[in-house]
């Protein structure tokens, strides 16, 4: 798939980099067209890295010792196989092979045809051979940068100087493309991941503005939050473009998780806001694509076979539970057709100690549903049950059908073992729980996830075809075990074990007197599985129309279907003794089919684009829906009911041992008369006038089996524009509409809350899609030679404003049809009747001066917490009795009052009753906006850039509901240190110390129920070996 297009213009002012997704600034002149298409598909990362390399002190290109030759890439030997072609394309492939950038800054063209180049030679020999017929000379700025010296004459066309321009298209490019992209996007690079190796996958998001995670340190699942929105596909989380749609129902902290191994990643691409691109269906917040390593990440330059071994471990007493993080990968190119890669990784962690400096206890008793606070302390020496283990396997095979086509098969599988753990307990029976018992382990937990894809690429010389098709399958299965509870003890005897030993518990049916004891001996396994089948097809066409150049179209289709199946089984000793569907978790099918198109025009100054997406959504499944059954009781029926209740009372009092003999006798004497009234209620003296006998409608709430077969569609437009007043500044604006249809859980979940019979969960098959309107305004600023020769500066500033209507939230107070009262404890997903607003500013800065560098990001959240309103009867009131005429033909007063108020009926009036307040919305990630957050990295390079030493500051502002006096997430600052040393081209050593000052903190926006601290001071060291 063609992810990006980069235009590189070299002029007298320096190097200008302009990025446009899928669209070139202008086509190459005919004289630049190669005799055959250059094979740059997997070389762009190297080309861009070389072109953006900063200047360093010049070194001699020739050194006398073998060791110096090994360290100087100019004198290293490489194998070349370049055809005779345009010089510009040969230089691009030279850079890809050697990692040596070839630049030119005088504004003159790179013309001519380069000779064929075959065989093994040094980089310097190869470069001079390619330039032999061009009159260009070479000056090495440093071992990684070669500058072309100008010829004595310049080429002009009219009054314009011809620039050296190349359009590069690739799957993977240097991460600095985000600063040339006129939209909000970020990249988490492999370098960033390696500086501070993540204990939890969420740690990778630390340096990305606008991105958060409701992390739970005891659960390795990753939930990505973009700009305050997460769960149920609001963020499209992917691995190599494959949707990861797994979710387990919880307190809306991670209703949508993925399981990814950082060891096998090349980078992570975050795109924010609504999109009419290939991955935009149903994602109103954006997307996060975790891209795995490829062949070029393993091979050394100029090699066709390679091995990469990586390992990291905790050091001594400061290891803090880091046992091992590592991987092994082997890759190779077999001839001109095949590329193969296989990798295996392992991550193993034990429990860790939190920081000991500046502990904060205020957040411990800040309520989720109600605000309450007590002055108490609960000291935690170790965060229990944070031990986990992960094993992953990756395999890729790419077959080049010819120069224009390739077929790629990939498989990624991961297995995780961890713990099924309770929420944090602070108080029990009014007493502070000891910190060692703050969390309770229910049992084991494990998850397996397999992702398989087959990708086809077609990229011929025609500008109208740049096509990618991808078919994939993702299967994720989670198992959470709840070990057997307390056994039944009678007279000092363990009756549970006794009955199981005697075989009484294996009878069918189990006798009533044995049932409770037998059940206490069973483990429960809650199994949730979601399979996703997906297909994407997109093409990018570039063309001219009516003499207008710079037109392009990106268009395609996407389809995916999620199939959920959840069960609960009872087990003992590995044997299964029963099972049923788990209606609390996803069961059913949900699919979205999408077609999209984007049309763009651009020149050197302006970009204008418009897109349109059509989505069709379908959901099928079964649930049980509450409803009201009304019965009309006439005067006779009411009298009969009254007579029967009187008879029952007399018979009960006649037998009651708690009454006196006289009282019992009087009750017994009443029985014949009461029985006569039951036989003929009309014999009551006041039968015609008694209020007890007035006719009445009475309701009963019942659960009906309900088959859901919902479908709907939507047209969603986007608009964007960019303006470049000069080569350093780009201003951009994006606007778009999005939607998110309801998920399986939101539509179908039904049952009683585990361990809390008071809380009953109900489905909402009538839920409507969320709809969004998003604005994105920003500016990119790029410069080279800003403060010193060869430095480079990049920055992106964005303002976002997203409004979501019909946002589905978890409400715990919902009145069911036909019922009076408040509905407390009735939980379901309901739409917020008020719009949800998410606004803020995001800043990214990247400056590199060769010997030192700095990177910074900051997110400033604007606005206040969102407000919530909902319908009191989300499924309808079902109150029909006040809209039915009385026996005399009149209606109850409530009916007339509703008509006078403008409603069709009393039922209609009740259906539209609303309640506004945050007190019933206690388990939603959107209940409060994210907090401000940022990081600052500063590093230095020594010894010809072989030694890299740096530090990172992490900041999180306090956060929580505005009406709380104490933060749910207190403010904190932590510091990290990192270092790496390139001993040789084959060996790299690394070390990191996280949370250097051992600060006690709770990660901002983390799980409000687990309340688990971040890790204290942690020292890690390791190595990477490539050969």
Question: Does some domain include residue 354?
Answer: yes
Q: Measured between alpha carbons, how far is 582 from 883 in angstroms, rounded to an integer?
A: 39
Express each pLDDT in 308-356 by its tens digit. Answer: 999 999 998 899 999 999 999 999 999 889 999 999 999 999 999 999 9
Express each pLDDT in 758-786 by its tens digit. Answer: 678 899 999 999 999 999 999 999 998 89
Q: Give me the pLDDT at residue 5, please.
A: 33
Q: Give me the pLDDT at residue 172, please.
A: 34
What CATH number should be reported for the domain holding residue 112?
3.55.50.30
Last residue of a domain, one of 237, 264, 292: 292
Question: Does some domain include residue 257?
Answer: yes
Name the residue among 646, 682, 650, 688 with its Cα closest to residue 669.
650
Q: Measured between alpha carbons, how far is 787 from 849 in angstroms, rounded to an integer?
A: 8
Name the residue among 221, 621, 254, 130 with its Cα closest to residue 418.
221
Question: Does some domain include residue 892?
Answer: no
Write down the residue that tokens 């500058």 correspond to. 147
Q: State whether 506 and 542 are in the same domain.
A: no
Q: State whether 711 and 807 are in the same domain.
A: yes
Q: Measured between alpha carbons, how far is 762 from 743 in angstroms, rounded to an integer?
A: 14
Element (H, E) at 937: strand 933-942
Is the predicted pLDDT of residue 1005 greater than 60, yes or no? Answer: yes
Question: Does some domain include residue 195?
Answer: no
Last residue of a domain, one of 656, 677, 694: 694
Crossing angle for the helix pair 661-679 and 635-655, nearest 10 degrees? 150
Q: State whether 347 and 460 are in the same domain.
A: yes
Question: Does some domain include residue 31?
Answer: yes
Express each pLDDT in 967-1002 by its tens digit. Answer: 889 999 999 999 999 999 999 999 999 999 999 999
Q: Give me the pLDDT at residue 31, please.
A: 31
Express each pLDDT in 882-934 by its tens digit. Answer: 888 887 888 889 999 999 999 999 999 999 999 998 766 656 677 788 999 99
Contact by Cβ (8 Å): 177, 47: no
Name the residue among 261, 256, 311, 264 with its Cα closest to residue 287.
256
Q: State whether 405 and 549 are in the same domain.
A: yes
Q: How many CA atoms lie within 13 A of 655 on its CB side?
A: 5
**For 134-143, 484-493, 740-749, which range has the lowest pLDDT when averaged over its residues?**
134-143
Question: Does some domain include residue 473?
Answer: yes
Question: Does some domain include residue 32?
Answer: yes
pTM, whole model, 2 decimals? 0.81
Last residue of a domain, one of 461, 496, 521: 521
Q: Give me the pLDDT at residue 251, please.
A: 63
Q: State whether 432 and 347 are in the same domain.
A: yes
Q: Which phi-psi region, left, alpha or beta, contains residue 560 (left: φ > 0; alpha: ψ -120 to 50)?
A: beta
Q: Give me the pLDDT at residue 824, please.
A: 81
Question: Does some domain include residue 906?
Answer: no
Neighbours of 422 (CB within 10 A): 15
Across the chain, mean pLDDT equals: 85
> Torsions phi, psi of 170, nearest 5?
-165, 165
What CATH number should be reported for the domain holding residue 318?
2.40.170.20
Number of structural domains found in the chain: 5
Residue 366, domain extent: 295-484+531-627+702-877+913-1026
Express each pLDDT in 128-145 by its tens digit. Answer: 888 887 778 887 766 777
Sign of the torsion angle spanned by Cα atoms 12, 15, 20, 23: positive
Name the residue among 458, 471, 423, 378 with its Cα closest to residue 253.
423
């Amino acid at each position: 798939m063609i992810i990006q297009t980069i235009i590189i213009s070299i002029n007298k002012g320096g190097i200008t980099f302009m990025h446009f997704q899928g669209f070139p600034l202008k086509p190459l002149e005919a004289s630049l067209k190669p005799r055959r298409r250059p094979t740059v598909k997997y070389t762009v990362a190297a080309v861009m890295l070389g072109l953006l390399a900063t200047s360093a002190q010049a070194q001699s290109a020739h050194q006398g010792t073998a060791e110096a030759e090994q360290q100087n890439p100019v004198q290293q030997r490489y194998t070349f196989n370049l055809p005779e072609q345009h010089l510009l394309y040969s230089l691009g492939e030279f850079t890809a092979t050697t990692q040596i950038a070839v630049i030119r800054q005088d504004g003159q063209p790179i013309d001519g045809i380069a000779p064929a180049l075959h065989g093994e030679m040094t980089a310097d020999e190869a470069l001079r051979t390619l330039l032999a017929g061009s009159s260009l000379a070479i000056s090495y700025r440093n071992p990684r940068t070669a500058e072309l010296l100008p010829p004595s004459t310049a080429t002009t066309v009219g009054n314009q100087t011809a620039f050296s321009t190349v359009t590069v298209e690739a799957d993977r490019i240097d991460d600095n493309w985000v600063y040339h992209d006129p939209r909000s996007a970020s990249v988490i690079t492999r370098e960033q991941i390696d500086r501070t190796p993540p204990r939890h996958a969420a740690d990778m998001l630390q340096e990305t503005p606008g991105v958060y995670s409701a992390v739970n340190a005891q659960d390795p699942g990753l939930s990505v939050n973009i700009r305050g929105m997460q769960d149920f596909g609001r963020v499209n989380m992917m691995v190599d473009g494959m949707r990861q749609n797994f979710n387990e129902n919880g307190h809306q902290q991670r209703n949508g998780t993925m399981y990814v191994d950082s060891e096998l990643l090349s980078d992570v691409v975050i795109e924010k806001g609504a999109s009419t691109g290939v991955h935009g269906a149903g994602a109103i917040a954006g997307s996060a694509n975790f891209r795995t390593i490829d062949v070029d990440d393993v091979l050394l330059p100029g090699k066709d076979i390679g091995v990469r071994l990586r390992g990291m471990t905790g050091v001594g007493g400061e290891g803090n539970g880091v046992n091992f993080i590592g991987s092994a990968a082997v890759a190779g190119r077999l001839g001109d057709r095949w590329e193969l890669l296989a990798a295996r990784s392992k991550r193993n962690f034990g429990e860790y100690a939190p920081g000991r400096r500046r502990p904060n206890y205020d957040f411990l008793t800040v309520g989720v549903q109600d605000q309450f606070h007590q002055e108490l302390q609960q000291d935690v020496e170790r965060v229990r049950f944070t031990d986990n283990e992960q094993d992953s396997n990756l395999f890729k095979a790419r077959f080049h059908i010819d120069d224009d086509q390739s077929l790629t098969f990939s498989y990624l599988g991961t297995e995780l073992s961890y713990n099924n753990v309770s929420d944090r307990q602070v108080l029990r029976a009014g007493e502070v729980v000891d910190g060692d018992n703050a969390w309770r382990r229910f049992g084991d937990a494990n998850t397996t996830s397999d992702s398989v894809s087959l990708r086809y690429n077609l990229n011929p010389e025609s500008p109208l075809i740049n096509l990618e098709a991808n078919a994939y399958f993702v299967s994720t299965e989670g198992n959470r075990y709840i070990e057997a509870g307390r056994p039944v003890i009678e007279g000092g005897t363990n009756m549970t074990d006794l009955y199981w030993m005697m075989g009484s518990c294996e009878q069918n049916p189990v006798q009533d007197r044995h049932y409770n004891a037998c059940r206490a001996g069973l483990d429960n396994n809650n199994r949730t599985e979601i399979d996703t089948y997906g297909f994407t097809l997109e093409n990018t066409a570039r063309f001219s129309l009516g003499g207008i150049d710079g037109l392009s179209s990106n268009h395609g289709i996407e389809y995916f279907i999620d199939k959920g199946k959840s069960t609960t089984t009872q087990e003992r000793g590995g044997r299964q003794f029963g099972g049923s569907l788990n209606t609390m978790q996803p069961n059913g099918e949900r699919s979205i089919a999408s077609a999209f198109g984007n049309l763009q025009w651009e020149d050197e100054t302006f970009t204008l684009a418009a897109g349109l997406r059509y989505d069709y959504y379908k959901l099928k499944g079964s649930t049980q829906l509450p409803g009201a059954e009304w019965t009309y009781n006439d005067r006779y029926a009411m009298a009969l009911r009254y007579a029967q209740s009187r008879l029952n009372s007399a018979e009960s009092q006649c037998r009651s041992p708690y009454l006196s003999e006289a009282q019992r006798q009087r009750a017994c004497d009443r029985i014949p008369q009461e029985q006569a009234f039951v036989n003929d209620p009309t014999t009551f003296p006041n039968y015609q006038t008694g209020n007890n006998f007035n006719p009445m409608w009475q309701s009963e709430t019942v659960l009906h089996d309900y088959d859901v077969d919902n479908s709907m569609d939507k047209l969603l437009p986007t608009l964007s524009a960019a303006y470049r007043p000069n080569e350093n500044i780009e201003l951009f604006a994006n606007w778009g509409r999005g939607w998110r249809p309801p998920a399986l859980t939101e539509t179908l979940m039904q049952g009683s809350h585990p361990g809390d019979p008071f809380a009953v969960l109900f489905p909402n098959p009538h839920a409507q899609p969320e709809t969004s309107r998003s604005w994105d305004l920003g500016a990119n600023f790029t410069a080279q030679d800003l403060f010193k020769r060869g430095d480079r500066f990049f920055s992106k500033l964005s303002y976002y404003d997203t409004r979501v209507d019909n946002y589905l939230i978890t409400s715990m107070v919902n009145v069911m049809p036909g019922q009076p009262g408040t509905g407390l404890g009735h939980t379901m997903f309901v739409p917020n009747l008020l719009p949800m607003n998410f606004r803020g500013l995001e800043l990214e800065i990247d400056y590199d001066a060769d010997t030192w560098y700095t990177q910074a990001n900051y997110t400033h959240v604007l606005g206040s917490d969102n407000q919530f309103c909902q319908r009191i009867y989300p499924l309808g009131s079902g109150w029909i009795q006040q809209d039915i005429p009385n026996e005399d033909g009149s209606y109850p007063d409530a009916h007339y009052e509703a008509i006078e108020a403008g409603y069709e009926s009393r039922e209609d009036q009740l259906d539209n009753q609303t309640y506004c307040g945050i007190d019933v919305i206690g388990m939603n990630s959107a209940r409060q906006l994210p907090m401000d957050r940022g990081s600052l990295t500063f590093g230095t390079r020594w010894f010809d850039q072989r030694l890299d030493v740096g530090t990172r500051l992490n900041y999180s502002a306090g956060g929580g509901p505005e009406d709380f006096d104490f933060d749910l997430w207190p403010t904190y600052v932590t510091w990290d240190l990192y270092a790496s040393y390139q001993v040789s081209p084959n060996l790299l050593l690394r070390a990191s110390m996280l949370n250097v000052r051992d600060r006690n903190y709770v990660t901002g926006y983390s799980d409000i129920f687990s309340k688990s601290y971040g890790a204290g001071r942690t020292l890690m060291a390791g190595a990477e070996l490539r050969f």
